[in-house]
Amino acid sequence: MFHDTTPAQLDADGTMDPWAPFRLVNTGEITSLLRQVRDAAVPVLLCGPNGQSLNCTLWALDSTAGRLTFSTDGTNPNLPSFIDADEAVAVTYLDSVKLQFDLTSLMLVRGRSGVALQAGWPGAIHRFQRRESFRVRPSERIAPRLVMRHPSLPDMQLELRLLDLSVGGCAVLLPQDVPELRPGVLLHGVQVLLDADTAFVGSLLLRHMASLDGGAPGLRIGCEWSRLNADAERALQRWVNQTQKRQRLLTLT
């Protein structure tokens, strides 16, 4: 697996749970995701409490009995330690989405065709977007924006509309009456105002510029987030996830 398979640290500090927006607890949603993992036969990495790992695939799921069955290599020397620990964290990917869920009640099943590892049904699944993941396109009504100083004219404050964004970067609209911004410039102290409850300050690297679709006035600037702190990354990922969920629900109505 050529992805980040390190489990996210989900222990909340204090009474606030910063990971709640990424957690699915609905039985139907969990079942749907697990079926996709099974049908796609994507690799699943099991991570044990002592740092051991085990590669496997989800072979079968029984929601009635509350059990998952994984196929794995019966000769793997780490296998006994998973049974002894009776717990593991599963990490896998569906396209650009990283899935993580806890497993307990591990049991080794041997048959004529090989070895299977069974586990209890997870009570929750966490979904995390990769940095290279899809971008969401906010509606004009929400109108998230960037507030910053022009790098060549420090006395000029710019308020630029965000055309789309992801946890890896964003695109902003540069009006035709604003002096040009050059690719390769790193902007510090950029205020990112996503909505009334979500805002942070970070740095942006200007990557490229392009004309708008349909010959509309202005330019589209592609940017990459640079050195966002943990709180800013968490706020950005939460906003992207929530926006994606809202847009998906609208397509179903």
**CB-CB neighbours of 215 under 10 Å:** 6
C-alpha 57/C-alpha 35 separation (Å) is 12
Q: Quote the pTM value.
A: 0.51
DSSP class of residue 133 equals -
Region for 218 from its dihedrals, namely left if φ exceeds 0, alpha if ψ lies in -120 to 50, beta otherwise:
left
Domains and CATH numbers, the chain: 20-129 (2.30.110.10), 145-252 (2.40.10.220)
DSSP class of residue 37 equals H
Q: pLDDT of 150-208, one tens digit each? A: 998 989 999 999 998 888 889 999 998 999 888 888 999 999 999 888 999 999 999 88
Say which residue, 213 or 28, is predicted with more confidence.
28
Q: Which of 184, 198, 209 shows the shortest CA–CA distance to 237?
A: 198
- Of 10-14, 73-77, 140-144, the one with minimum mean pLDDT is 10-14
pLDDT at 215: 72
C-alpha 81/C-alpha 12 separation (Å) is 27
Q: Is the dihedral of CA 71, 75, 81, 83 positive or negative?
A: positive
Strand blocks (E) in 2-65: 23-24, 43-47, 53-62
pLDDT at 11: 54
- Contact yes or no for 163/229 (Cβ under 8 A): no
Q: pLDDT of 123-135, one tens digit each? A: 999 987 654 455 6
